[in-house]
Amino acid sequence: MKHLFVSVIIPTYHDWEHLKLCINALRGQTYPAKYFEVIIINNAPEDTIPQLDLPDNFRIISESKPGSYAARNKGIYSAKGEILAFTDSDCIPCPDWIEQAVKLLVGGAQRVAGRMELFYKSDKLTPAEIYEKAFAFDQLKSTKLGGALTANMITWKDNFAKVGLFNDSLMSGGDNAWGWRAQEKGINVVYAPFVVVRHPARNTMRELLIKEKRIVGGFIDIERILPRSELWKRFLHNLLPPIKPFFRLIPKKDLSLLEKIVAGSVLMYLYLYRIYQRIRIAINQIGYIKQK
């Protein structure tokens, strides 16, 4: 196989313990170390960086602008590779992650979206973990819409010259937003179930609510940059009850009946929380405008 130089880009924010696992996984890649670098972007420059045993092809840089997309953009600027591989600090890439992705790109793919494989704290799953098992990290769904989650996305560096960088004003959803722009320019995405990154499932309802709040903020940020013709359509779409996800639960063979009931209940709870957040933000915005 032809060995091209790959830059692995990992934003991190106060997450050194998880990052150590990610570093160990990347240290054990089947792809030769001399053909890839790992760029870790510390998005909390005031944080004290712990003592990390980094190989020669690993380095840490900093980005003071808040947000993982600002951090990823800093990584792109610093990257030496022809290929950019994105993952997150709490992810554990499988040993052949880089090798399998490079094969696809060399074979003609423009963008590769790999599979996200969840793992859990114990065999007895919490309601939050059951929900994650049913719905989290649906990379295949993202690719059908033209996007890809940056927890496991690999592409040619030249594509960022064609499409532009990530929108660093977004706190969530910037990966799919970049993917949609790429799709519009004819840069298609391939879903690769054998290009695997393992990700810990969120364990508590609090973690799910924090994520949901971030996603709502991402929806609102994306809506602000949409053309007016698309704005109401997307706004209303994001308020629709989660009917399709409910129906997707029914045929899932990896979930028991009880797990389907739990996952559906959590899904509805998060939907109501999302509506609450959108109303709260709208009221605050109206109040701000009146004050002005």
How do residues 43-90 score in pLDDT, each as one tens digit? 998 888 888 889 999 999 999 999 999 999 999 999 999 999 999 999
Cα separation, 62 vs 74, in Å, equals: 8
Name, in order, each residue with C-beta under 8 angstroms of 112's C-beta and a sequence gap of 6 or more: 101, 104, 105, 153, 154, 155, 189, 190, 192, 195
User: Given this model, what pLDDT does residue 6 score?
Assistant: 98
What are the chain's domains? 1-202 (3.90.550.10), 204-292 (no CATH)
Greatest mean pLDDT among 76-85, 137-146, 198-207, 279-288 lies in: 76-85
With contact defined as beta carbons under 8 Å apart, do 26 and 8 qualify?
yes
Confidence grade of residue 274 (pLDDT, cut at 50, 70, 90) = confident
**Mean pLDDT, the chain, whole residue set:** 88
> Of the candidates 75, 84, 104, 88, which has an alpha carbon nearest to the alpha carbon of residue 96?
104
- Least confident range from 6-10, 134-138, 145-149, 210-214: namely 210-214
Query: Phi, psi (5° rounding) for residue 286?
Result: -65, -45
User: Given this model, what pLDDT does residue 80 score?
Assistant: 97
User: Given this model, what pLDDT does residue 127 score?
Assistant: 95
Q: How many Cα atoms occupy the beta-carbon half-sphere of 22 within 13 Å?
A: 25
The answer, yes or no, to whether residue 290 has pLDDT greater than 50, is: no
- List strands edge to edge, sheet with 153-156: 58-62, 36-42, 6-12, 83-86, 153-156, 111-119, 189-200, 92-93
Confidence grade of residue 27 (pLDDT, cut at 50, 70, 90) = very high
| Residue with the larger pLDDT of the pair 260 and 173 | 260
Cα separation, 161 vs 144, in Å, equals: 23
The answer, yes or no, to whether residue 221 has pLDDT greater than 80, is: no
How do residues 93-112 score in pLDDT, each as one tens digit? 999 999 999 999 999 999 99
